[in-house]
Chain A
Amino acid sequence: MPETATISKIPAQALEALRSIVGETSVLSAHEQVLVYECDGFVIEKNTPDCVVFPETTEHVVAIVKLCNEYKIPFVPRGAGTSLAGGCLPVGGGVMIALTRMRGIHDVNLRDHYAVVGPGTVNVHLTQHLKGTGYHYAPDPSSQGACTIGGNVATNSGGPHTLKYGVTVNHVLGAEVVLPDGEVVQFGGYTEDNPGYDLTGLFVGSEGTFGVCTKVIVRLTRDPVAYRTMLGVFETVEDATQAISGIIGAGIVPAALELMDQGIIEAVEPAFHFGFPLDAGAVLLIEVDGLEVAVDGEAAQIVELCEQNNAREVRKADSPQQRDLLWKCRKKAFGAIGRLSPSYCTQDGVVPRTKLPEILKFITEASARHNIRIVNVFHAGDGNIHPILLFDERDAEQVKRVLLASDEILNRCIELGGSVTGEHGIGVEKISFMNKLFTEADLETMEAVRFAFNPSGLCSPQKMLPTAGACGMEHIEKSHPARRAAL
């Protein structure tokens, strides 16, 4: 792998100034220290930041941002770095603002249904904090054990339970944000329907390009009283996807509806020993929740629909321990992939739910065509696919085939009326798809909105929009000839 070229180098006096803002030990700048921050969960593109700073207060963030403006240094916020599309790749180097020390749960107010948290709060820590209150924070991305709520806000994260409960934006009431020029504003608040434009809604999912989030006011949701968690076992992926269509079409909205194919079961079963049948074509993990009086009826209906679609069997999780294990298998599935391959690339596409059989067939064909093994574990109820392409990143030729297969799958999603990302974001990975999904006029309007927030372009440069000519791709050319060739 060639050494990454650093486009700008931070001046020594700026580095000194950063140290005086946050303290000597809260700035990393030695090469071996910043190397860890060269990428997020999207490992195909890498670039080290010039330095990483760890603010602890909003005032720290303001001072850092103002300093970056003074020296015209690009800056990029980062949470836990679990994002999968290069959202916190420091394009052009510059200052990385790592928010992991701003992890306080400042306030929990059940009467008014909200909690106020620092952006560095780990998603699952809020869940644990709320345990026993009868309320929870609904978005539960699979990476919730590591990912931060600030990062969830930046990418508008989803998770298995978004089918019924919605994604991050549906659960954020407000945010305190340090704008790219250093001004602090609050969007939304502790109350609903604040007058004016919905800047909270616009900010969520802006992938760090509208400023640095320093506080989040999240909505809390009542816990469901009862769950029924089922595992439908199918001979083929087709049967499983037909069952999904049947369930959704019958007007049932399960809390979660997840598909795992044979390839992923082969990785998960030896890791967690749930007892998944290794010879099944696919399994569906289906959960209904709600009132005790309602869940049995819904579960019975689902069992019937699975059986109508040739399910070999439908198992029920008959204890909370079994339910937990089942969810552990699903959420940690990615971790088990190490058993199958040294590297993997998780794709994130969306199709209308009724097109699932079609896209899965296409994925199988693409896998054969490019001789790249692809396994699937995804949010079937939303039509949000996650084909996982297995490869060895040391082999440039394989990397090229992975990128080609990915591009084909995503293009097919667009053709089927879908999108190239349901929850991971555009980041740097999918910039080249933006003008396939959107017209020039759409992108101009988005650019105009970004300009209102981020006129200097210093905040998270070269993310989301394919602007500023082709120069956004230069870093790829320098560091990744293979990717460039594949594009």
Chain B
Amino acid sequence: MTTTESSDEFTPATTDEARDFLTENASGAGRAIFPVGGRTALHYGYAPTQPGFTFSTLRLNRTIDYPARDMTITVEAGIRMDELTEILKAEGQRLPIDVPQSSRATLGGVLATNTSGPRRLGFGTLRDYLIGITSIDAAGKTFSAGGRVVKNVAGYDLCKLMIGSLGSLAVITQVTLKVKPQPESSKLLWCAAADWQAVEAALENLLTSATRPVALEVLNAAAAHEISAEARLDLPAGGPVLCIGFEGAARETEWQTEAMTAELQAAGIRDVAVVDDAEPLWFVLTDFATSSDEPLTFQANLRPSRLVEFSELATSAGVSLTAHAGNGIVIGHLPDEVTTLDAAVKMLAPLQALAYEADGNLVIFDCDETWKQTIPVFGQARQDRALMQRIKQQLDPRDILNPGRVFSKDAISAVH
């Protein structure tokens, strides 16, 4: 094979090469395999517990079939998200999933990490679009599930299992997605609230709004300031901000921005700006989840009704955050002052406690690798963890794929 860059990295040019490599590895040393795509989320999860091969899917980036009138597309998993977006755009279609660092991120990586963004409120997440998948397991066995039609209940839904599995079960090589038409119009409202109480009141009102937003973002002042600057927009960022997105036919977004402005003003939020050229702002809102130099980036999931309480607590600790308020998801960066593990643990403790109490969790996207010995990356252990480990053992009994990344080594051996 000519595609091996170095002894520790392999970039197959075809899925056959990928399969052969994994088969040989399994029949020989059985070294650890670390699947990578655009390398935008390598810090998500625990550090590997064994040395091994980095397995790059970047050259598996072909379009296999795009029957645009069926509104499905089949592509190899190494395709970059921006490239996929361009292909779909040419037919007036899109995959309505917001992906940070989309110029680098690959579809396979985005699936493995279950990436989502602001528009998940209106359009759902990857599990709502992935209809077929082909993967290669640690033994080199190629398997598929689902198919190429938009509705299909034949066999177990391994698509769901693979989404968010962090490359721990198999290497995703090819996927079929259902896609949506491009909207005619896309707009964002930037609504500066006086305080958190006003945000809460507005969110309560939104439950019965005459409009149907596709995104409902809450930003604290720190995040609002950063985001408006990045998007090169002169928008107020003195306190918490509600950022509300509408998409659809032009007359729909037009009507909704007007109706929502009136609703917000009736609820006491007077400072409402309509961002008509919304693309740069969508981009920056999405990219906020990317850690630049912050000491730690987390995602909390909780009941939507507890989101403002959580955001207020985190803000008072100095966290910069945005939230998908309709979905109960908060993404936060710890402030630069947090330079030690102790300081991070101390700042996270009340946030973890609140997330757990609100039936959710707090997951670490990115931090110093050594901190992960102390901070639980996936939050508090859930009841179904043992079953997840049984699935991992069934599909990868030798723990070759991303060993330790999802279940720290100790936890895996605990069930033996």
List chain A positions with a Cβ less than 8 A from chain B.
Answer: 109-113, 134, 155-156, 158, 162, 166-167, 169-170, 179, 185-187, 189-202, 204-206, 222, 225, 245, 248-249, 251-253, 290-291, 293-294, 297-298, 350-354, 379, 382-384, 417-426, 430, 433-434, 437-439, 441-446, 448-453, 464-465
Given contacts A158-B151, A189-B359, contact A198 B163 (CB under 8 A): yes
Bound-state CA distance A425–B155 (Å) is: 8
Chain B interface main SS type: loop
The reply to whether B359 and A190 contact each other, CB–CB distance below 8 Å, is yes
Q: Which of A109, A156, A444 makes the CB contact (< 8 A) with B153? A: A156
Report the Cα distance A292→B146, complex, angstroms.
36
Inter-subunit contact B152/A419 (CB<8 Å): yes
Partner of A193, one of B151, B156, B299: B299
Segment with Cβ contacts to A, from B52-60, B225-233, B267-275, B301-309 = B301-309
Cβ-defined contact, A194 with B301, below 8 A = yes
Q: Indicate which residue in B149, B165, B299 contacts A418 across the interface (CB closer than 8 Å).
A: B149
Tell me, rounded to whole Å, the shortest Cβ–Cβ distance linking A160 to chain B: 12
Given contacts A354-B69, A446-B156, contact A225 B301 (CB under 8 A): no
Question: Are A198 and B164 within 8 A (Cβ)?
Answer: yes
Question: Chain A residues near B161 (CB, 8 Å)?
Answer: 197-198, 201-202, 449
Known contacts A198-B163, A201-B160, A202-B157; A445/B385 CB under 8 A: no
CB-CB contacts below 8 Å: B195-251 with A: 204, 207-208, 210-212, 248-249, 251
Q: How far is the CA of A424 from the CA of B151 in the complex (A)?
A: 11
Q: Please report which residues of chain B, range 246-280, place their CB below 8 angstroms from some CB of chain A when the two chains form the complex.
A: 248-249, 251-252, 255-256
Q: A110-B207, A426-B154 are in contact. List 11 more A-B contacts (CB 8 A).
A: A111-B204, A186-B383, A187-B384, A195-B363, A198-B127, A198-B164, A201-B160, A253-B180, A421-B153, A446-B156, A453-B387
Least Cβ–Cβ distance between B142 and chain A, in angstroms:
6
Q: Which of B20-28, B314-322, B335-343, B390-398 lies at the interface with chain A?
A: B390-398
Residues of the A chain whose Cβ atoms lie less than 8 Å from the Cβ of B385:
196
Evaluate contact between B255 and A293: CB separation under 8 angstroms.
Answer: yes
Q: A185-B384, A197-B391, A201-B161 are in contact. Are A111 and B153 (CB under 8 A)?
A: no
A448 (CB) vs chain B CBs: closest residue: B394
| Distance in angstroms between the alpha carbons of A200 and B150 in the assembled complex | 20
B68, chain A: closest CB distance, angstroms: 8
A348–chain B nearest beta-carbon distance, Å: 9
Residues of B within 8 A of A417 (CB): 147-149
Q: Which residues of chain A are within 8 angstroms of B150 by Cβ–Cβ distance?
A: 350, 353, 382-383
A383 to B69, CA, bound (A): 12
A sample of 10 inter-chain contacts (CB < 8 A) reads A191-B303, A193-B301, A195-B378, A198-B127, A252-B181, A290-B252, A354-B67, A418-B149, A423-B153, A445-B141
* Min distance, Cβ A223 to any Cβ of chain B, angstroms: 10
Bound Cα distance from A478 to B381, whole angstroms: 49
Please give, as numbers and ranges, the residues of chain B lying within 8 Å of A464 by CB-CB distance. Answer: 155-156
Chain A nearest Cβ from B115, distance in angstroms: 11
Q: Are B147 and A418 within 8 A (Cβ)?
A: yes
| A291–B255 CB distance below 8 A | yes
| A205 B157 Cβ-Cβ under 8 A | yes
Q: Report Cα–Cα, A193/B326, bound state, in Å.
A: 13
Count: A-B pairs, CB below 8 Å = 248
Chain A residues with Cβ below 8 Å from B210 are 225, 291
B207 touches A197 (CB 8 A): no
- State the Cβ distance, A5 to closest chain B Cβ, in Å: 29
Cβ of B411 to closest chain A Cβ, rounded Å:
11
In the bound complex, residues from chain B placing their C-beta under 8 Å from that of A252 are 181
Is there contact, CB below 8 Å, between A204 and B137?
no
* B149: A residues at CB distance < 8 A: 350-352, 383, 417-419, 422
Complex: A164 Cα to B72 Cα, angstroms: 15
Specify which of A190, A196, A249, A434 is in contact with B388 (CB 8 Å cutoff): A196
Most buried by A among B137, B153, B378, B394: B153
Q: A264 CA to B401 CA in the complex, in Å? A: 53
Distance A422 CA – B155 CA, assembled complex (angstroms): 11
CB distance from A191 to the nearest CB of B (A): 4
A112 and B387 within 8 A (CB): no
**Are A445 and B212 closer than 8 Å at their CB atoms?**
no
By beta carbon, the residue of chain A nearest B163 is A198
The CA of A435 and the CA of B121, in the complex, are separated in Å by 38
Question: Taking CB as reference atom, which chain B residue is nearest A162?
Answer: B151
Chain A residues with Cβ under 8 A from B40's Cβ? none
A478 to chain B, nearest CB (A): 26
Chain B residues within an 8 Å CB radius of A298: 249
Contacts of A198 in B (CB 8 A): 114, 127, 160-161, 163-164
In angstroms, Cα B169 to Cα A198, docked, is 13
Hey, which chain A residues are within 8 Å of B395, CB to CB? 445, 448-449
Q: Answer whether residue B145 sits at the interface, using C-beta atoms and an 8 A cutoff.
A: yes
Complex contact A156–B252 (CB within 8 A): no
Q: Which residues of B contact A197 (CB under 8 A)?
A: 161, 164-165, 169, 388, 391
